[in-house]
Chain A
């Protein structure tokens, strides 16, 4: 008989919890969201001995059950709600051997909820370097649990954990701390009021702001009235609880763990001396950023050229080999170029995610938080704002969610408001194609001009974010208590499996998420560009032929003229020309205008849109880039994408708020429409003005 058990993975940040999750589930995992909130929910399936299947949830990392963020709330909400379909049959607390004492705090809290709990002591391969030895049977007896000593790096201990999971019923469910030891009178009267409830659970309900399942809500609300103590008193009790827990842990570890400091080899302090140095720390950070941008450019140029020409070939092949008709045209002129416009950016986006996940996995990101805090505070931000601002280079949506661990509301709000200025991966396609059209290929001090331009655009985005933060900090009158605690984890060589899974997962969601929108828009655009109202569109052939009858044109040239005449009088041409007056001062024609309008669904649509419009308007086989290079400015003559209009377009995309999903997330995170609407109008208005000035000065 096969049955399924629920397993919850819980642990402090930086304990390798996700590595344990990856080791258990491999590729059998999916990432979604908790209903109603944007906290990432990771779950997977693992086969245990004797045909038992385990459904595993990787809960967000937390230092304790006293939640201070939305992510941490998820943990306590699940653990307090027995009716949740994911309520664990067994909890696995993942700890790091070097920080066992601190990790055990969370362990004792979970244990006190009387859920069967297994302790994983991870990174066991580092024990020898640190001179740590553990008396496992003693620890198991004292903590009343089963322990799996693991090293996900060396792939050790996974089978032990699986065996423990399948025998979870043998694990005692007794508590570690008796709440009455914290304050006898208070807790005894609490227990008297609710004799059937677990005391620690009641205590958590009183001290935490969490929602619970409908079934025991009434009960809980009655409990919530039991706030006989002031906030300050409650906090004093929480402090006392923490002290009690550490006393218990210290007693256990006194005999269960010995550390021979003489044997400890300390790589971290050597690295920290350089990487967090007052001067060298910043230089190194800058060099790392520079290297990343150069690498994104250099490494991906070959696969990108290959993809570009492959799609051009496909498009041509479809036209030549499928029977003529509307469907073939839709395929060759709408869908294939539209898809090409997204697939081409996979190499770059994968490299970007690769670097970001390596920076986070290695522990370096925390050093950057440390280095930048003082600087960022000048601008009303926190050192922790650096993480959203850097991961905003991938996508503003997860970046805005990553602001949740910023403790001060004002610093957090400002970070949310300015993060969309950082150059997200959706801007990358636009930048890349325009840079390749208007910036020459040469090198300066070994760095390509094109890579330098890209780096410069990233810096502009970053600088605008910081400057607007400074202004917001002066304008916004919000008082909020600020504090700042950030753990500085050990340096670790990133695990290949973790990095690879992140890169695959994020790239996949970029391609499919954006891909769907792009595909839909390409199809709509193709229809709008291929059909038009009235005489002019339908009789295009005759009109053009009579017009050019007197001149000597080859048949090919005539066809070219017919195609562009048709496009001009198609639905899209008419719309585009209607908006052209607004964008002409920026140096764009109506085709770019259409691409900008469709970019409000998602910026990366820009290239695909142009690809679709241009391929409807032309016959020959050409890559997107060649087609753009061949466009002629209808009024000024010369290439449409020249230095002035190119720079203007780059700046427009750098500043404009063109992402509906970001606006939606900002609304959700700030709980108000005020902020996203302000973002939309101020950012886009600013973009228009800057692009206008740039074009008028440069032309």
Chain B
């Protein structure tokens, strides 16, 4: 099954696989959300939304609806 950032648990890390969905804003890519980069879920707001991420050293928050479109590979 394909995992997305929305599936991450707090403190979990993963590698970004694909960001080609049209639901992902360019701004997010420019902030470093690109394939091959690592992503860590730092904190969740109540109802698991928005999600506070650390993408390759950049700390940012996005909504779950965007996170659902960013494909990842979980570290095992």
Contacts and interface: CB of A to CB of B under 8 A. Distances in A.
A366 B45 CA distance: 13
B8 interface: no
Contacts of B50: 370, 373-374, 383, 484
Contact of B32 (A66, A101, A374, A407): A101
B57 A63 contact: no
Interface in B1-46: 19-20, 22-23, 25-32, 34-35, 42-46
Given A232-B22, A242-B34, A407-B25, A486 B43 contact: no
Interface in B47-76: 47, 49-50, 52, 56-63, 65-66
A276 B45 contact: yes
B27 to A, nearest CB: 5
Given A276-B45, A374-B50, A235 B34 contact: no
B29 to A, nearest CB: 5
Contacts of A238: 26
Contacts of B22: 232, 235
Interface in A262-278: 268-269, 272-273, 276, 278
A263 to B, nearest CB: 15
B32 to A, nearest CB: 5
Contacts of A486: 60-62
Given A64-B27, A64-B30, A235-B26, A483 B52 contact: no
Contact of B29 (A101, A239, A369): A239
A448 interface: no
A689 interface: no
A631 interface: no
Specify the main secondary structure of chain A where it touches its partner. Answer: helix
A344 to B, nearest CB: 41
A232 B27 CA distance: 15
A489 B45 CA distance: 17
A319 interface: no
A484 B66 contact: yes
A398 B56 CA distance: 34
A268 B43 CA distance: 12
A99 B58 CA distance: 7
A580 interface: no
Given A101-B32, A232-B22, A238-B26, A374 B59 contact: no
A370 B58 contact: no
Interface residues of A, number: 40
Contacts of B43: 272-273, 276, 370
A209 interface: no
Given A369-B61, A483-B66, A374 B47 contact: yes
Contacts of A374: 45-47, 49-50
Contacts of B58: 99, 102, 487
A487 B57 contact: no
A482 B42 CA distance: 23
Contact of A488 (B34, B61, B63): B61
Given A232-B22, A238-B26, A488 B45 contact: no
B26 A239 contact: yes
24 contacts: A64-B26, A64-B27, A99-B57, A101-B32, A102-B30, A102-B31, A102-B57, A232-B22, A246-B34, A269-B42, A273-B43, A370-B43, A371-B45, A373-B61, A373-B63, A374-B46, A482-B63, A483-B66, A485-B28, A485-B31, A485-B61, A486-B60, A488-B52, A488-B61
Interface of B: 19-20, 22-23, 25-32, 34-35, 42-47, 49-50, 52, 56-63, 65-66
Given A374-B49, A488-B60, 10 more contacts: A68-B26, A268-B59, A276-B52, A370-B43, A373-B45, A383-B50, A484-B63, A485-B25, A488-B61, A490-B59
Interface of A: 63-64, 66, 68, 98-99, 101-102, 105, 232, 235-236, 238-239, 242-243, 246, 268-269, 272-273, 276, 278, 366, 369-371, 373-374, 383, 407, 482-490
A-B pairs, top 9 by smallest CB distance, nearest first, are A488-B59, A64-B30, A370-B61, A484-B63, A276-B43, A483-B25, A242-B29, A373-B50, A486-B61
